[in-house]
Chain A
């Protein structure tokens, strides 16, 4: 179809609002982030800032806190991503086998996903309180511990609570995504495998997993981004305490920007994070394409 003048104008008008919103609220901040990262740019003195080259980057990378928060984010991602994928996949497998109450289970398992991060974090904070329900259960009911565990007062205690929350909240999403994938696996493949005398375990590794590889990688990419994006749960549960030991990249960046006012430092940190994530995503996408061929 040849595009007439009138059509061109209408196409342009349909694109315009989107381009405007992108331009102002996405492209401008991305460019500004990059620029700010080369400046000494303090909150409060928005108008006076000084070009300092790579100083912010040097400060970020030389910072002992950066190592701590980077490791925290990395551990959080490495634990919660496989954790919720495995749990969600297992639930999907079971749901795929049962004949009744499928919808009921699906709705209930999905509840944590639609619970807001603020609410979920507060529930976990309350449950893991030193005098809270979980410690009471561990010490006085099942007698695993002899004293109250100070979950929220140590680095790995706090991180454990945040990671448990991350897994708990993610199971439902993985369940839905994997359940949809399982339903696309052709049943004749299973029948063929059964004729060959394959065990359930063989079918899992040689039929199910290869058939849903695309979905596994899709989930991996989305959840890795989500893992590095963790913010609200850490902020609400530990607030980075004790002494920034439980801060992750984004809570540390936020602290630097809005508590100490160092916008330039925060911008450099954000930019590094974005680049790391973009590289990770590209690697994972490449992997996905390779496996497709």
Chain B
């Protein structure tokens, strides 16, 4: 064989070795979720269950609990609502900042970049105080505006970039035809910036879907919990954690993300890289 072919094979061997380390924990999660519960505290521990002991009992148990559907639905509603609100607000902001001059514009944009830098969790104390004032403690609706507010700065930043890539001539033509600012927004900007809006929305969905600290602080009712809180709830007493249930529930919580990820792979990569390669 040629030298080049050998190099290719070597590269693949290194990549596969790295991949095994990266994927191993995920495989272990799935294999543990398929073991009977009695086998989880066995010693020595085994990586895979014996073929004849593979069981779906953990999945059945999780699905058999009524609260599973509630938790799943809670997460879905909160995430979708947050994503839609953030997409609408960030598109409008991104459009206006990219196209018009108005007093305080630079300040507003600077502020948006600044809030991207401040870690969200440092504001948890005053946000809790705000949630008490707004009477949204222990309410799912209360999560939505906070998630939207956290994701809007980054979304605006990205969407502004996408809008700047749309030729201004299209705007001008619409104005010539008697269109207004709203017409341009609805007929030109939204349709053409769709890939950008989609890619940030995927990230925002991921953020809202897996958010733990805020939901864990604000929600205390079992039926109001979102998926991450439900998973951590299975895991009460350190010694008596039912790992099979924990991981079965974890697999369920990863499914929507996996589906979104596989369906929208190209948006995912576009959204990640458009901010990073400049300069």
Write the residues of chain A forming the contact surface with B, with a CB cutoff of 8 angstroms.
1, 3, 6-7, 10-11, 14-15, 17-19, 21-22, 24-26, 28-30, 32-33, 36, 46, 87, 90-91, 94-95, 97-101, 103, 105-112, 114-120, 122-124, 126-127, 131-133, 136, 140, 168, 171-173, 176-177, 180-181, 184, 214-215, 218-219, 221, 225, 228-229, 231-232, 235-236, 250, 253-254, 257-258, 263, 266-267, 270-271, 273-274, 277-278, 281, 288, 292
| Contact call B279/A292, Cβ cutoff below 8 A | yes
Would you list 14 pairs from A and B whose C-beta atoms are within 8 A, ordered by A residue? A21-B152, A32-B130, A36-B125, A46-B132, A98-B8, A100-B8, A106-B269, A114-B258, A118-B228, A122-B235, A122-B247, A168-B25, A235-B212, A270-B125
**Secondary structure at chain B's binding surface: helix, strand, loop or mixed?**
helix
Of the residues B125, B228, B231, contact of A263 by C-beta under 8 Å: B125
Question: Distance in Å from the Cβ of A237 to the closest Cβ of chain B?
Answer: 11
Chain A CB within 8 A of B69 CB:
no
Of the listed residues A114, A117, A168, the one surrounded by the most CB atoms of chain B closer than 10 A to its CB is A114
Of the residues B29, B45, B125, B213, contact of A119 by C-beta under 8 Å: B29
Question: Distance in Å from the Cβ of B4 to the closest Cβ of chain A?
Answer: 10
| Contact call B232/A236, Cβ cutoff below 8 A | yes
Chain A CB within 8 A of B15 CB:
yes
Q: Report the Cα distance A107→B269, complex, angstroms.
A: 10
**Which residue of B has the minimal Cβ distance to A101?**
B12
Contact flag A111-B26 (CB < 8 Å), given A30-B123, A231-B213, A250-B121: yes
Chain A CB within 8 A of B59 CB:
no
Of the residues B92, B246, B278, contact of A18 by C-beta under 8 Å: B92
**Secondary structure at chain A's binding surface: helix, strand, loop or mixed?**
helix
Contacts of A1 in B (CB 8 A): 172, 175
| Contact call A229/B231, Cβ cutoff below 8 A | no
| Contact call A29/B14, Cβ cutoff below 8 A | no
Tell me how many residues of B have a C-beta within 8 Å of chain A.
90
B residues 141-156 touching A (CB-CB < 8 Å)? 145-146, 148-149, 152, 156
Contact flag A108-B23 (CB < 8 Å), given A117-B212, A270-B125: yes
Of the residues A19, A28, A221, contact of B130 by C-beta under 8 Å: A28
Chain A CB within 8 A of B38 CB:
no
| Contact call B275/A218, Cβ cutoff below 8 A | yes
Give the contact stretch, choosing among B50-58, B60-68, B95-103, B192-200.
B95-103
Of the residues A95, A99, A103, A236, contact of B15 by C-beta under 8 Å: A95
| Contact call B210/A25, Cβ cutoff below 8 A | no
Contacts of A91 in B (CB 8 A): 15, 18
Closest 8 CB pairs of A and B: A116-B210, A214-B279, A25-B149, A32-B126, A180-B273, A29-B126, A10-B181, A229-B119
